[in-house]
Amino acid sequence: MRTSMTDMIGCEYPIFAFSHCRDVIAAVTNAGGFGIFGATGRSAGDVDVDLAWLDANTRGKYGIDLLLPQKLGIPGSIGPLPPPPAEQLEFVEALMTRYGVPPLPEDDAHQLRLSQRANEMMSDAVEIWDIAGEHNVSMYVSALGAPPPDLIEQAHSRGGVVGGLVGAAPHAKRQLQAGVDFVVAQGTEAGGHCGEIATMVLVPDIVDVMGDIPVLAAGGIATGRQMAAALALGAAGVWTGSVWLTTHEAETDPVVKEKFLRATASDTVRSRSSTGKPARQLRSAWTSEWEDPANPDPLGMPMHGALIREAKARIRRGSHVPGSGSEALANYFVGQVVGRLNTVKSSRQVVEEMVGEYIDVMARLESINA
């Protein structure tokens, strides 16, 4: 399967897999796709270790994805954050009490507080971008806004390509002006941060804006049929994420993975409750509580992440107890395609099934045109 993106990157199939799990990245890349390692939320030192592992266990090169927001929504952008408002602090603690979520052991809580630096999102992202040049990284992706010009230049000087995620035509125009090599048109069906425009509408709009610059389609794509549809819309490949969350290699929390396997397409919600920006995730007691108009609104990014970090760690730690409040609150980012993810498979099997179904679709279309 040859497209402008496979030519640019050198992979066999135009299947681009985003995952925070290095085992998924290696498995997809070794199966002929191309893995992109989601590094946000990890320290620069931890990412350095993960990339060294990927160098040793991945056939060929791979990519890295980072949050590089140019506007964080607070004065000064980076630097010490002001303390969260008392109303939000009180709400989060009352939520933990009402659902019976146990506190963290003191050692765990202390380590969590030590690692929670006010400027880690931006400062670590820039450091990681630099560290990536010491590894087999050939693709750099900014998940929020166009990367700063100096980072684009740095990646190009290493022979890498740079891309950005977009959810509307104006976003694509800004990426084009910034000088990226490709964009990912991410529809509202996608898990994680997404806009309000559906993939079927968004992709051709972005293709028209970008001209000869390749576009990857994202949002609701997990099968060969969906990949064929994306290429028919003008995309040069597919950017996939949710489909890897239920694979054997995925590090998805077991409780959340079971929720994914039982979920339908209607069991996700676009909510600010986990990052401060609208992000599609599994509906749970957590999202419902933050949606209740009687409760405080989520803060903006990155304030909201700082506010809920310990609460989320407490929920994860206690969610394995059946029927507990922690289990009811537990959730994670996932797209509407979760309704099709009802069987645990290997990442290689997912790639092979997507390619096989794509071939079947193309054969059927050829028979229609015959």
Q: Where are the domains of the chain?
A: 4-80+118-262+337-369, 82-117+284-330
The predicted pLDDT at position 122 comes to: 55
The predicted pLDDT at position 75 comes to: 35
The predicted pLDDT at position 86 comes to: 95
Mean pLDDT of 31-43: 93
The tens digit of pLDDT for each residue in 139-159 reads: 999 988 888 889 999 999 999
The predicted pLDDT at position 70 comes to: 56
CB 172 within 8 A of CB 204: no
CB 261 within 8 A of CB 246: yes
Q: Answer yes or no: is pLDDT of 76 > 50.
A: no
Position 302 confidence tier, pLDDT thresholds 50, 70, 90: confident
- pLDDT, averaged across the chain: 92
Environment class of 296 (CB within 10 Å of its CB; exposed 0-12, middle 13-18, buried 19+)? middle
Peptide bond into 302 cis (omega under 30): yes
Q: Answer yes or no: is pLDDT of 88 > 90.
A: yes
Is the CATH code 3.70.10.10 the one for domain 4-80+118-262+337-369? no
CB 64 within 8 A of CB 162: no
Tell which residue, 173, 168, 170, 209, has the closest CA to residue 185. 168
The predicted pLDDT at position 112 comes to: 61
For the chain, the C-alpha Rg in angstroms (whole number) is 20
* Prediction pTM value: 0.92
Mean pLDDT of 268-282: 96
The predicted pLDDT at position 106 comes to: 78
Position 114 confidence tier, pLDDT thresholds 50, 70, 90: very low
The predicted pLDDT at position 74 comes to: 38
42: helix, strand or coil? coil
Tell which residue, 278, 274, 285, has the closest CA to residue 307. 274
DSSP code at position 181? S
Q: Which two tokens stand for residue 170?
A: 């104006």
